[in-house]
A and B are shown apart, each in its own frame.
Chain A
C-alpha cells in the first residue's frame, strides 16, 4: 500500500469513527442519560452542579477510563449519608452504564475492522463514548435543574400575588 493510500485510508477511518460515535452519542442523549440526570435532580439528592461538571471535566481531560470509574467509586464510598452519589443507587447505575458502553465500543471496533486498528483502539473508543455519555448527563442535569428552579420561582411569584390579592 502506498503512503498516499495509507493516508486516505486513515482519514476515512477517522471520519467513519466520528460518525459512529456521533450516532451513539445521539442515542445516549435521549435515553439513559436523561433518566440519570432526572434522578440526580430528584428531591433529596444533594449532588450539585459542581460535582457533575467536575466529573465531566475529568472525563474530558483524562486518558483513563479507570480514573472516571475510580472517581465515582470514591464518591459513592464517601457518601455515608446516602444523599449524593449513593442516593437511590444513582452512582451504581452510572457506573454500570459506563461499563456497558464497552459493548458499543466493541461494536464500533467491529464496524471499522476493515481498517488498520491499533491494540488500544477499542479502549479509546470506549473512553470517547464515556465522555459523550457524561456530557449528556451534565447537559440534561443542568437543563432540568434550571427548569425546576424556574418552576419554583414561578410558583413563589404566584403565591405572592395570591397572598397580595387576599390582603
Chain B
C-alpha cells in the first residue's frame, strides 16, 4: 500500500495472520494429535502423545480411535446420513432458490434492494430461534396439525416432528438464503440479450433457459450448493432439535461423543475424518468465494 514502510506492512499482515494461524490452523493440528491419543479418566481426559516416563522420549500414538470409527457402523451410518441429508437439502434449496433468485434479479430499482434485504435478514436473525420456531408448528399438537384437523383433512395428528422430514425441512429452511444470494449474484450479471438471441433464433423458452441461462449461471449454482452442502453436513442444532431417535448425523454424533461420553480422542478422530471428507469441497468453495470477491 502507498506510504507504509516494511514495519507497518509486517504488522498489517502479520497480526491477523498470526491470529488465524494460532486460533484456526494450529488447533486443527492439535485435533489430529489428540485423535492419536488414548482416552483416560482425568484432566485432560487423554494420554500425552510424547512421554518421558521410560527415561528418554517415547512416542505413544494409537490408531485405535480410527479403528473404532471403521468397525462400529454407527459412525459410517452417521457420515452417510449427513451426506444424504445435506445433499438432498442442497438439491431442494437449488430447486426452491432458483426461481426466487431469478425473480429478484428481474425486479428493478429499490424494490430489488428491498427483496435482497429480505433475503439477507435471516442471516442477521438467530439461527437457533429460526430452527426453534418450527417446533411449535410441527409438533403433534402444533399449529400445522391443528390447522389440518380444523380443515377436516386429517383426524389423527401427522408425525411431522422428530423425524427425517423435519430435519430436511429445517436444513432447507435454514440454508435457503445461502443458496439464493450466490444464484442472484450470477443471475443479475447475466446478459439478457443472449436469452433474447436464443429466442429470436427460434428456441422455445424452456430450451433457451436450459441452453443459455442455466449454463451461464453454473458458477452461482456451484457456489450456492457448496455454501449449503458443507455446513449442512456438520450441522448439529437442526438434527438435535428437529431430529428423532433415528436421525443420524455426524455433527450430533460428535457432540454426543464429546459432551455425553466424554471421549475426547474419539471425538477428535470423528473431526479428523470430517475435515478430510470436507477438505476438497472447502477448497473448491474457496475458489468460488475468491472469484466472487474479484468480480
Q: Do A and B come from one complex?
A: no
User: Which A residues are within 8 Å of any B CB, using their own CB?
Assistant: none
